Structure 1
């Protein structure tokens, strides 16, 4: 089970060597029309390989950029994770750390797979050469030249196809790791939310040693005197406006 998983994400490869180039020998034809048909057919295959190669390289480049951005954002969880797990029990803290390392590893391995395609020095492609028309024993007739061009295309296609397949394999492995990391990121976020309910917030305590050395000014409430305190005696009055008689009155006298 573990071996299958390691093979699935590219950590284990049974055949880690380069793919062997198919060696095919082209037998020259004696018909110009048939040689032209061969040439058209092989050029279509060659153009398809070039388009496929460009697509694979572009997708690998995009995968490197996306994985790098997500990895940078995910790495920001490290200080937040350390600070938020202070009140979490060890039984919850250990699984969260394991999930975090698991997800981060797959993001980094995504970059590793995808970036292998961008190392152009690891891949050597066969191309057409000017020696075909400059060498001494070059083709002297149209038919001979067409046959030699067909032979060159046969070799080029057979040589480039395994390299493009290897680049495609890197893209597949990188996509697998990126997919696992994204699902793991979602599980990690959900685990953080659930673990937040188990955090016990403790009231901080301040411990003071040698309290007798601390001089505190405590006011003497028994001997406190008020200075310039003004009190008021209040009497409520009511005035009968109809009879213009004062039935009650209010006097505010300041002492």
Structure 2
């Protein structure tokens, strides 16, 4: 099972060995022209395929980098919540994060391999075909030589393109597995945070009996003081009212 998994993500031998093909020279110029037209179409098809692969590879590199950044930010935001998790749960989440991180890194690794020029060599034509002393002296020989060079170049370049395609396939597989692991990690983190009870600050009272007696005594003193003040205010109002009534009676007696 594990071996199949390693093969699935690219830990295998070269799946596209290079096969050489021998070209038998054409006997007429008309046949040689048809061969050249056909080989030209093949060369253009391989060039378009290579361009498509490079475009998809750039997309995988950008998407993998973005997902890694978002995942790292996501983990840092919820790091404080992880302190209340069980040790086994925290270990499980950590292992899950490492696995998905490695898959995205592996996807970027396969994608970057396509940009290594020294490992993506292509065969091209040479000027020696027309400058060499052994160059073709007739039209048919020259066309046969051109066909032979095209066959060699197409076979060699097709092998290089197949290697690029295999790296793209492995990068896509690693990226897809990384997305699945990211989904599992996200669900696991949300469930873990949901079940964790957030601790609330508490105050410990060493001698609650003494504290209650002191509070009652302070409250009683404060209440007595307020009652005395109210009595003084009431007495003052009574005195003022009494004086006002006396003044009123004196005025009535004068009249």
TM-score by length of 1: 0.78
Which residue of 1 is the match for residue 252 of structure 2? none
Which residue of 2 is the match for residue 173 of structure 1? 170
Aligned pair count reads 223
Which residue of 2 is the match for residue 189 of structure 1? 186
Q: Which runs of 4+ in 1 moved over 6 A?
A: 218-224, 226-230
Deviations, residues 129-171 of structure 1 (Å, cap 9, x unaligned): 1111111121222211111110110000111111111100000
- Structure 1 residue 19, shift from structure 2 partner: 4.7
Which residue of 2 is the match for residue 155 of structure 1? 152
Matched, 1:21 2:18: yes
Q: Where does structure 1 lack aligned partners over 5 or more consecutive residues?
A: 209-217, 234-251
- Aligned counterparts of 1:83 and 1:223: Cα–Cα separation in 2: 48
Q: Which of 38, 50, 58 pairs up with 2:35?
A: 38
CA RMSD, Structure 1 to Structure 2 (Å):
2.7
Structure whose CA Rg is larger: 2
Name which structure has the greater RCO, CA cutoff 8 Å, separation 6+: 2
- Aligned counterparts of 2:22 and 2:159: Cα–Cα separation in 1: 18
Change (3 A) 1:231 1:149: farther
Deviations, residues 32-79 of structure 1 (Å, cap 9, x unaligned): 000000101111111111111111111111111111111111112332
- Structure 1 residue 183, shift from structure 2 partner: 1.4
Matched, 1:164 2:161: yes
- Aligned counterparts of 2:45 and 2:189: Cα–Cα separation in 1: 48
TM-score by length of 2: 0.78
Q: How does 1:167-246 map to 2 (within 5 A)?
A: 167-205=164-202, 231=233
Structure having the larger proportion of residues in helix: 2
- Aligned counterparts of 1:30 and 1:76: Cα–Cα separation in 2: 68
Which residue of 2 is the match for residue 131 of structure 1? 128
Answer whether contact 1:107 1:178 (CA < 8 A) is retained.
yes
Change (3 A) 1:221 1:132: same
- Aligned counterparts of 2:234 and 2:148: Cα–Cα separation in 1: 120
Deviations, residues 91-131 of structure 1 (Å, cap 9, x unaligned): 32222122111111111111111111111221211101111
